[in-house]
Amino acid sequence: MNRILIVEDDKLLNDGLAYSLKDSGYHVLSAYDGERAKQMLGHSPDLILLDINLPDMDGFKLCDSIRQHTNIPIIFLTAKDAEEDIIQGFKTGCDDYITKPFSLPVLKERIKAVLKRRTADTNIYFFRNLTFDTDKLRLMKGEREIALTSTETKLVKMFIANSGKVLTRQQIIDKVWDIDGNFVDENTLNVNIKRLRNKIEDNPSAPVVIKTVFGIGYKWGDTV
């Protein structure tokens, strides 16, 4: 059962959408402001219906913030129908843009279409300007392919599988090296992390993708 997060401050509309989508077989989560929406991301929704005019933050900024960390499908559902708003929505990273008033049957069909497209792309992982194909083991930075060693590929796969989580140095060594029966020390890990950062970070001296958690280990990005 797909989970849909509705981020809409109009409680009547939010509740109405929730009732209708539940009736269509979806599991529904509701948030009435941006901060609550961020908290609800911990429930791993499969799609977000997002209003732009939220009481505590701009929906465009919230979408951009979410896009820095996850590729959850986002459909803007908003009264802002100006061409520049629609363009901004897609530039921010939405998958679809629906203006109010809207047809509920049409909304449901567009939800189905977005979920279907994303199901077909589950082997593609997006983070910031990086794209990793988990089938082909190919990493792109923008439009440029990044050549990775076997160890670097294992590191990327491991970090993506644990995105936002703090991993100790020993956990990383166990996952990347010891699985093949190879013994390495922490210096080997540090060298490989440095090389990988040099390839994927815009500024390796101030990393935002592979972050150091001092005294513990590393993590890939942040939770929102």
Convert the pLDDT of each residue in 9-49 to its tens digit: 999 999 999 999 999 999 999 999 999 999 888 787 889 99
From CA 43, how far away is CA 40, in angstroms rounded? 6
Residue 86 has pLDDT above 90, yes or no: yes
Instruction: Show Cβ contacts of residue 102 under 8 Å, excluding neighbours closer than 6 positions.
Output: 77
pLDDT digits (tens, 9 = 90+) for 125-162: 777 778 888 878 889 887 789 999 999 999 999 998 88
In the chain, domain spans:
3-122, 125-220
Question: So what's the pLDDT on residue 15?
Answer: 96
pLDDT tens, position by position, 186-210: 889 999 999 999 999 999 999 989 9
What tokens does 5 get?
Answer: 């997060």
**pLDDT of res. 88:** 94
* One-letter amino acid of 217: G
Residue 182, pLDDT score: 63
Please count the residues of the chain.
224
Asked: is 125-220 a CATH 1.10.579.10 domain? The reply is: no
What residues have CB less than 8 Å from 46, skipping those under 6 apart?
2, 3, 4, 72, 73, 115, 118
Domain 3-122 is found in CATH 3.40.50.720 = no
- Mean of the per-residue pLDDT values for the chain? 88
